[in-house]
Structure 1
C-alpha cells in the first residue's frame, strides 16, 4: 500500500500546519508520496527526503479540474490506495475523484480554518461535501470538533476523530540552549517572559506589552522577549514605546524553525495570550508552541481562545487567561516570576504531561489506524 499526501502545507515553507503534516509523514510507511505546491527552496529540500515529492507548477494547490487530474495521475503512477489531505478545506473536494480512481481510505485533516468554513454559507456546504467524501475528518482540539460537527452530515460527524500534533521532546527539553541565548542577548540572570509566535494580532503580543508596566512595577528588571516575525511588528514596537516599556521589550525578528527551542528554553515563563478575532471567525485552533514550551519545563500563560485551552492544565501546568485583559495577564506573570518554586513545579508537570500524552508516535498510530495501515 502507498499513501498519497495532498497538501499546500509542506516545507520548506515554515508554519504550524507545515510542521504537523511533515511530522506525520515520518510516522507513515516508507512507500509514501507527497503532492504539494511549488515554493522557494523546494528542490534542495526535497532532495534530502527519503520519499518522493511531486510539485505542481502552481504556488497553491486548488481543487480545480486540472489539479484533480494531476492528483489522480500521481496516485496511479505510485499505486497509492490511501489518501491524506493535509488540510481538509478546500483540497478535500477532490475526494470523490480520488475515490473513483481507487482510493480505499481517505483522511482529511482539519486545523482551525475549517471552523470558518463551518460558519459561512456556501463554504459550509462545501465542507459538508468534504466530510461525506472522506472516511474520516480529523480535528486538532475538542473546540474545533464542536465547531465543525454541525456543518457535517450526521454520518460524517460520527466518523470524526481527534488527531493532535505531537511535540518532539528530543528538540524541546529543559536546558536545550536557553543559557546560550540569554548570554548572546545580554539577558543573563534577568527575569524573562518569552512569546514565540508569528507577529499577528491573533497571538496577543500587544496584550503582553500592555501588561508589562504592571509586571515591571513588581519585577523591575524583567524583560519581555518577543520571538518571531510578521506584519504586526511595527505596530507592536510603537505600542511598546507608547506605554513606556520599549527598553524592556526585545524583538528578535523571524527565527529559523530549527533555532526555536533554545529561545523557548531561555524563558522563565512562556506567554501567548492568543485571542479570537473577526467575530469568532479567527480563533486559535490549538497552539502547539504552548506544548513545546511545556516540554522545555516552562510554566505557560495562554489566552482563552478556541482550542488553546487544550494545551494547558489550568493551575497545574500554567494558566488560561482572558486575552483581552492585560491586568489579569500581568497578575499571572508576576505570580510566576516572583514564585520560582511554583514556576518550576508547573514546568515539571507540563514536561511530564507532554512527554506522556503529546507525542508524534501517538499521533502517528492514530493516523495509521484511520488509514487502515497495520
Structure 2
C-alpha cells in the first residue's frame, strides 16, 4: 500500500495549506509515500532532505488537464500507489475518476476554505459534486465548512464526509518560548501587549483593532498593539493609526519568518484577530489555525466571528468570539483581559490544555490513516 499525495500546496512555498499538507505527510509511513506537486524556487534543495520521494511537474501550478492526469497515472504506476490524497479537493479532485480507473483503491480529497465558494456558484458547484462522487471521503477543516460544502455534494458523498483539522505543534508553541527576548528587543518590557500575528490583509481585521485602540487606551493608557506580519494593507493601517491618534501605541514588525513566530505569540498578554467574512460571503475565515497556536502558547484569544473561526475558541473559557465589524465590542473584550491578568492567565491555561488534548497532528494523522485504510 503506497499513498500518492497530489497537491499544489507544498513547501518550500509557505502558507497554511502548505503546512497542513506537509504535516500530514509526516504522519504517513515515509517508505509508502510519494508526493506529486508543482515546480517552485528552491524545490530541489528542499526535496533532497525529505525521507520520501517528490515528483515535480514541469509547471508552476497543477491543473486537472489531460496531460497532468496522465502524469499522475504514470507516477501512480511507477510507485505502485493504490491510495490517493488530493491536497486540495478543488480542482485537483477532478482527476479522481482517472486515478480510480488506474488502480486507486482509496481516494481522500481535503478541503480548506475556497471550496466553500465553489459550493455556492452554479458551475463550480457541479464540479465539486463530481469531486465528491469520485472520492471515498471529502474532508473539512471546520463545522462551518462542512455546512457550506455538504449541500453541493450528492447525498452519499455528504454522508461520507469527515472532519480533518490541522494540528498544532505544542513543542514549538508553548508558554515561555522566547517572549521575554522579543519584548526586550521591542522595548515592551512591563507593558500590556495585544498581538495579532497574521498577514496584513483586509480579511484579518487589523483595522478593527486599530479602530478599537482609542477605547483600549482610555482604560489601559500604556497598552501597545503589536501587528506581526507584512502585507498589502500596511500603509493603509499606518495611516489609520495616525488618523486616530494612536500611532504611538501601534507597532508594526514587518514580515517575520514562520520559524520565528512562537516568541512573538509568547510576547503578548492577549492574542487578537477579529477576522471577518468579505466579498459577499465568498471570502470567509475557514478555520484560523493561528488562534490555536496562540492558545497553545498560553494566551487568551479574541477572534472574529467569521466562517469556521468559532471552532478555534471556547467562548468565555479560552477567549472570546466577537463581532469583527464592531470596534467597541472588540475593545470591551480586550480591556477586560488586560485589566484582569488572573482571568487572562486562566483562559490561556485552559486554551493550552484544550489544544494539547484535541488539536494534535498525531490525532489528525490517525484520522487520515483510517480514511486511507492503512
The two structures have a TM-score, normalised by structure 2, of 0.99
Q: Is 1:228 equivalent to 2:229 in the alignment?
A: yes
TM-superposed CA distance for 1:353, in Å, is: 0.4
1:9 corresponds in structure 2 to 9
Deviations 1:122-148, CA, capped at 9 Å, x for gaps: 000000000000000000000000000
Paired with 1:99 and 1:228, the residues of 2 have a C-alpha distance of: 42
2:118 corresponds in structure 1 to 117
TM-superposed CA distance for 1:4, in Å, is: 0.6
Paired with 1:205 and 1:85, the residues of 2 have a C-alpha distance of: 33
Paired with 1:184 and 1:11, the residues of 2 have a C-alpha distance of: 30
Structure 2 unaligned blocks of 5 or more: none
Equivalent residues, number:
373
1:370 corresponds in structure 2 to 371
TM-superposed CA distance for 1:58, in Å, is: 1.1
1:248 corresponds in structure 2 to 249
1:192 corresponds in structure 2 to 193
Residues 177-216 of structure 1 correspond to what in structure 2 (within 5 A)?
177-216=178-217
Deviations 1:203-235, CA, capped at 9 Å, x for gaps: 111100110111111111111111111212121
TM-superposed CA distance for 1:180, in Å, is: 0.7
1:69 corresponds in structure 2 to 70
1:316 corresponds in structure 2 to 317
Deviations 1:247-277, CA, capped at 9 Å, x for gaps: 1111111111111111111100000000001
Paired with 1:146 and 1:122, the residues of 2 have a C-alpha distance of: 19
Deviates more, 1:239-248 or 1:96-105: 239-248
Paired with 1:265 and 1:8, the residues of 2 have a C-alpha distance of: 32
SS of residue matched to 2:10:
coil
Cα-Cα RMSD: 0.7
TM-superposed CA distance for 1:319, in Å, is: 0.1
Paired with 1:200 and 1:130, the residues of 2 have a C-alpha distance of: 31
TM-superposed CA distance for 1:46, in Å, is: 1.1
Paired with 2:45 and 2:248, the residues of 1 have a C-alpha distance of: 40
Residues 76-95 of structure 1 correspond to what in structure 2 (within 5 A)?
76-95=77-96
Structure 1 unaligned blocks of 5 or more: none
Q: Is 1:346 equivalent to 2:347 in the alignment?
A: yes
TM-superposed CA distance for 1:55, in Å, is: 1.1
1:269 corresponds in structure 2 to 270
Paired with 1:64 and 1:164, the residues of 2 have a C-alpha distance of: 29
Deviations 1:14-67, CA, capped at 9 Å, x for gaps: 111111111000000112111111111111111111111111111111111111
Residues 94-109 of structure 1 correspond to what in structure 2 (within 5 A)?
94-109=95-110
Paired with 2:93 and 2:239, the residues of 1 have a C-alpha distance of: 42
Paired with 2:170 and 2:10, the residues of 1 have a C-alpha distance of: 21
Q: Is 1:132 equivalent to 2:133 in the alignment?
A: yes
TM-superposed CA distance for 1:346, in Å, is: 0.1
Paired with 1:235 and 1:36, the residues of 2 have a C-alpha distance of: 36
TM-superposed CA distance for 1:186, in Å, is: 1.2
Paired with 1:231 and 1:40, the residues of 2 have a C-alpha distance of: 22
SS of residue matched to 2:216:
helix
TM-superposed CA distance for 1:349, in Å, is: 0.3
SS of residue matched to 1:279:
helix
Paired with 2:4 and 2:230, the residues of 1 have a C-alpha distance of: 32
2:295 corresponds in structure 1 to 294
2:23 corresponds in structure 1 to 23
1:162 corresponds in structure 2 to 163
Deviates more, 1:245-254 or 1:206-215: 245-254
Paired with 2:85 and 2:310, the residues of 1 have a C-alpha distance of: 27
> 4+ runs of 1 displaced by more than 2 Å?
none
Deviations 1:278-319, CA, capped at 9 Å, x for gaps: 111110000000000000000000000000000000000000
TM-superposed CA distance for 1:196, in Å, is: 0.5
TM-superposed CA distance for 1:177, in Å, is: 0.7
Paired with 2:356 and 2:9, the residues of 1 have a C-alpha distance of: 26
The two structures have a TM-score, normalised by structure 1, of 0.99
SS of residue matched to 1:195:
strand
Deviates more, 1:46-55 or 1:134-143: 46-55
